[in-house]
Amino acid sequence: MAEQEASGLQVLLRTLQSSSDRESILTILQLLGDLLSGGTDRRIRYMISKGGSEALLQTLVDTARTASPDYDILLPLFRLLAKVGLRDKKFGQKALELEALDVTLILARKNLCHSQNLLHCLWALRVFAASVTTAAMLGINGAMELLFKVITPYTQNRTRIIRAATEVLAALLKSKSNSRRAVNRGYVVGLLRLHQDWHSHDTANTYVLIRRGLLLCLKHIAALRSGREAFLAAQGMETLFSTTQNCLDDKSLEPVISIVLQILRQCYPKSPLPLVTASSAYAFPVPGSVTSDPPCVLTEEDFEDDGDEEVDKDSDSEDVKEEDDDLETDVNKLTSKPGPDRPEEELRQYEAMCLELSCSFEDLESKPGDDLSFEETQYANHHHIPTAASLKRHCLSKDQLSWGQEREDTGRTSLLSTVKMGRSSVHLASGKAPGMNPYQNAQSSGLGIDSSGSEIPDIQAFLNEDAWDIDAMSCPRMSASFSNSTRPRDATEVINKLLQTHPQHIPFHDPCLYMAKARRTRSVADFKMMAFPDLWGHRPPPSAQPMLERKCGIQRIKIFEDIRRLLQPSDIINKVVFSLDEPWPLQDTASDCLRFFSKFESGNLRKAIQVREFEYDLLVNADVNNTQHQQWFYFRVSGMRAAVPYRFNVINCEKPNSQFNYGMQPTLYSVKEALLGRPTWIRMGHEICYYKNHYHQSAAVTGGASGKCYYTLTFAVTFPHDEDVCYLAYHYPYTYSALMTHLDILEKSVNPKQVYFRQEVLCQTLGGNSCPLVTITAMPESKSADHVEQFRQRPYQVITARVHPGESNASWVMKGTLEFLVSSDPVARLLRENFIFKIIPMLNPDGVINGNHRCSLRGEDLNRQWLSPRAHLQPTIYHAKGLLYYLSSIGRSPVVFCDFHGHSQKKNVFLYGCSIKETLWQAESTVGTSTLVEDVSYRTLPKILDKLAPAFTMSSCSFLVEKSRASTARVVVWREMGVSRSYTMESSYCGCNQGPYQLGTWTLK
C-alpha cells in the first residue's frame, strides 16, 4: 500500500513538471493542496523526500517564463511553496539552483499595484530568504529596494502586504552583506521614521506585528558595527527609548517592547569597567612565580566590539556539561590506577597525623588543647557568648559544658522538611510583601529584646566607629569607645562591656576567643579590622525564609533605568565613594551618601560609585593574583536612612546566569538588630535581577579573546534602622577565624572519655596560616587489647571542604557535620563507633581570608591541582593528597571521600561521583561494558541520602567522569586511591525546587 502511495505521489509530481495542460496542472495542485492541508508535517516531509520541492519550483519557473503568466496556476503554486518551504531546510538553495529567485522577483516587480499577486510573491520570498546564502543573493538582485518601495511611505491601506514585506526584509537582513547594503543606502533612518509613524498612528495596537517586523530589521542591522554607528547617529537610542516609556506595562505590546530592549542593549556602547586595572587590588609574591609586567590599564582600544554574544562557560564546581565531548571515553585512563606521585619514604611523615593507630590508650586520654595559649584557653570552654558573670569566672560548670543542652530548638521540626515539603510547624514568613523587613518577623517571636525595649545611649557612639581595630586590641588604648568619659584600655574590656549590656547565647561561639584567633590570622592586605557579624556571632532566624517571588517585568525596568544613564547623563551623580585602589579614604562621615568598607577578613568590595541619590554601582575584587572570578562580595555599609529602598548594582559578575534570577536573595546583618538581641544573617533584598550589561573584558584580560561580557546583579534593600551599620554578603559568610574558634570550642565541649577528638595542623599555607586537620571517632570501651584493636581497625572516612573560598555554604555544612559527629545523637554515636573521620574543614584558608571567590594566593583553582600538586605551591592539596596516599599505603584507604562545595546555578543538595560504565553509556561509546567489573556501591550513599535528607535530590546527581575534571579531588581520589565512593557534594546557594524556601544556616548544618 505504501509503495502504491509513493508511486502515486511520484506520478503526480512528474506529471506536474512535464505537463503543459492547464487543467491538469490545476487539478494536480488542487490534489497536493488537499493532501498537505489534511495531514501533519509528516506528509510535507514525505513529499519533500520524494522531490516535491524541486517539482513545485520547476513548475513555478516554467509557468512564470511564459509570455503571459497564468496567475490561476501561480497563486496556488505560491501557497504550496510557502507551506513546503517552511519544512525544507534546503529550500532556498534549491530555489537558487532552479533560478526560482529571479522569476519570483520579476513577478513581484510586475505586481506592485496588484495586492493579491504581490502578497503571494512575498510569501514565497519569505521562505527563500530563510537561507542566509539565498538571502544574500536576493539582496544582490535588488530585493531590498523592491521591499522598501512596498513598505514606504506609511499607509494603512495595504497592511497585509506591508506586514509580509517587513517579514521578508527582516529575513534578508540576517545576511551581513544585506545589512551593510542597508546601512550604505541610508535605510536605518527610513526604518526609524517608519517605526515612529506606525507607533504614533497605531493607538489601538492593531498592527503590532508590522511594528515588530520593522524593529527586527533594525535589530539585524545593529548586529554590525557600522549598523550600530548608523543607528546611534540617527538618534535611534533616543527614539526607541522615548516611544516605549509609556507602554511598558501594556501586555499587548510585549512583542514590540522585547525587540526594542534587545536593540537598545545591542547598541549601548561597550566600555571597560571603571577600574584602573583588571588585576586584583591585592597582590601576593608567591614562590616560583615569574615577575610579570605591570597590570595593563583598561582602555577603549582593548575592545573588539562585534555583535555576536559569547556564551560563557560555567566554571561553577562540577557542573555537568551538555556536550558529551567532555566525557572520558579512554577505557585505559578510566581503569588504570597511577602510582604515587612521591617517594614512599616521604609518606611516613603522615604517620604522626594518625596517632589513633599507634598510641596507647593512656595517650588517648590526654587533655585536648594543651598547646593553646592562656589567652585563648581562658574562654575556650564557652559554647556561647559569655555573660558578665561567666566572664568573671572564666569558666563554666560541667553541666553547662553539655553540648546537648546547648543545642537550640532540638525538638522543633526540621527546616529541611519545610524546604522540601513546603510546610512547617514553625511560623513562616511566606506572607510578607517584597521588600518588607524580615526582622519584623523576628521581633514578633520575642527573641531577646532588651528589657527596656530601647537601645543604650552609647550604642550609637559604638556604631559610628569605623570597625574594630585588631592592632589596638593588644595595646593599652583602643580606638573604639562607648563614650568620652569611659575609654576601655583593652579590647577584651570593650567586648565584656558589650556582653554585660547585651548578653547573648550563641552555641559554639565566643567573641573573646574569636578576637584571639583573628589576631593570629594573616592576610595579604594585613587587615586591621574585624567585621562585627564574625565577632559577635550569628543565630539562625526563627523561621525559614521563602524564595523571592519576582515581579513580572522588573528586569526590563532595571535595564531601561540603566539605558537612561546614557541618554540622560545630567541625572547621574557618578561619584566614587569607596575604592581599594585609592591610598586615602574617599568618604566624609558627614556626607549624604552611604559609607562602605570591606578591609576585613573574607571581605570583598573593590569600588563603590554613587549613581543616583539612592543607587550605587559596586565592583567586587578579582581573586588575588588574578583578573577573574568576581562573584563573592561581603562588605559593610552605614549612614543609611530607614524605610528608603537603596538599589545596589554589582556590575562585574562573570557567570552567564545565577540563582538570583530564581528566588535567591543576598544576606544582610544589622548591628543594631544584633544589639537588640537578634544577631542574625537574614535573606534580604527585593527587585532582584541578574542580566548582561554593556561592560566587556579587554583583550588583554582574556588573552586575546574578545567579546567576553560582564553581568549585573541588581537588588534593592530597605534597611531596618536609621544610621545603622549593616553587612551585605553574597551568601552567609564563614571566616577562617570563625572556623578556628569553632574547633577550639568544639574540642572543649566533648567528653574525652567517650569522644576521641584531635585537632592538629595539616600544613602551613602560602600566606602563613595553619590548615587544620580534625580526627573524630569514639573512644575504645576499655583499655583491653580487644577494644583497642577494634578502635584501630575502624575504617576511615575523609571529608574536606571550602577549596573554593566563595562557597561559604560548604563551611556551614561542615560546621553542622562537626557538631553532629561529636553530639550525643544515637546515629552520631553509631558513626563514631564504626568509623574514624579525618576532616580537613578548610582546604583554602588563604582564599577565604582574603575574600577570594575561587582561587588560592597564586591565583589558581586548587581543585584543579590534585593530579600533581607541589608542596611549595599548593601545600594544602599536596599534604591532603599525601595523607590519603599514606592511608592507602597501609591498607586503610577511606571507604568514603567527600568534598563539600556550593553551587550557584542549581538548586538542591546533590552528589557527583565516578562510574566507568555510566560514563561510557552516556558517551555512547562503542567499547563494550559487559566485561567491565565495577563496584556499584558508589550509588549507595546517594540513595540513602535521598531517603533520609529532604533537601537531597538523587535526580540531580551525576556519576560521569569528564576530561575537564580529571584533576579534581573527586576524580583523583577515585582513580589513584581506588576509592569507589569518592564524591563532590554540592549545596545550592539558593534552595530546593521541591519547596518554596531558601536554604539557611540551620538547614545547611
Supply the DSSP symbol for 378. Answer: T
Annotated catalytic, 408?
Answer: no
**Which residue intervals of 245-393 are DSSP H helices?**
254-267, 331-335, 361-364, 374-377, 388-393
Strand order of the sheet with strand 770-778? 755-764, 770-778, 836-840, 796-801, 896-903, 982-988, 909-912
Separation between Cα atoms, residue 95 and residue 44, nearest integer Å? 17
478 forms bridges with which residues in the sheet?
Answer: none
Dihedral of CA atoms 212, 213, 215, 220 in degrees, nearest 10, equals: 140
Cell numbers standing for residue 263 = 536593540
> DSSP of 983-1002, one letter per residue?
EEEEEESSB-TTSSBB--HH
The greatest distance separating any two alpha carbons of the chain, rounded to the nearest whole angstrom, comes to 113
**CA triplet 310, 966, 764: central angle to 5 degrees?**
105
Dihedral of CA atoms 81, 85, 88, 93 in degrees, nearest 10, equals: 90
Supply the DSSP symbol for 595. Answer: E
Separation between Cα atoms, residue 492 and residue 593, nearest integer Å? 33
- For CA atoms 609, 610, 612, 615, the dihedral sign is positive
Cell numbers standing for residue 523 = 592576610
Strands 709-718 and 645-653 turn out to be antiparallel
- In this structure, the number of other CB atoms found within 10 A of the CB of residue 603 comes to 29
- Look up cell 600566606; give the residue: 767
Catalytic residue, chosen from 54, 318, 962, 986, is 986
Question: CA separation (Å) from 377 to 503, 518, 519, 696, 744?
Answer: 21, 15, 15, 52, 9
Separation between Cα atoms, residue 78 and residue 57, nearest integer Å? 9
With contact defined as beta carbons under 8 Å apart, do 667 and 728 qualify?
Answer: yes
With contact defined as beta carbons under 8 Å apart, do 12 and 6 qualify?
Answer: no
Cell numbers standing for residue 102 = 529571479
Q: How many CA atoms lie within 13 A of 715 on its CB side?
A: 26
Separation between Cα atoms, residue 887 and residue 880, nearest integer Å? 11
The distance of Cα 479 from the centroid of its chain, to the nearest Å, equals: 39
> DSSP of 935-997, one letter per residue?
-GGGGHHHHHHHHH-TTB-GGG-B---BGGGTTSHHHHHHHHS--SSEEEEEEESSB-TTSSB
Q: What are phi and psi of 839, to 5 degrees?
A: -125, 125
Separation between Cα atoms, residue 876 and residue 23, nearest integer Å? 86
Collect all residues with Cβ–Cβ distance below 8 Å to 106 and sequence separation of at least 6. Answer: 64
Question: CA separation (Å) from 374 to 378, 380, 477, 699, 968?
Answer: 6, 9, 21, 54, 40
Collect all residues with Cβ–Cβ distance below 8 Å to 263 and sequence separation of at least 6. Answer: 215, 218, 219, 222, 231, 236, 240
> DSSP of 9-49, one letter per residue?
HHHHHHHHHH---HHHHHHHHHHHHHHHHTS-HHHHHHHHH
**Which residue intervals of 397-525 are DSSP H helices?**
403-406, 415-421, 439-444, 459-463, 470-473, 491-501, 511-520
Q: Judging by beta carbons within 10 Å of its beta carbon (0-12, 13-18, 19+), is residue 816 exposed, middle or buried?
A: middle
Separation between Cα atoms, residue 420 and residue 891, nearest integer Å? 40
Q: Which residues are catalytic?
A: 986
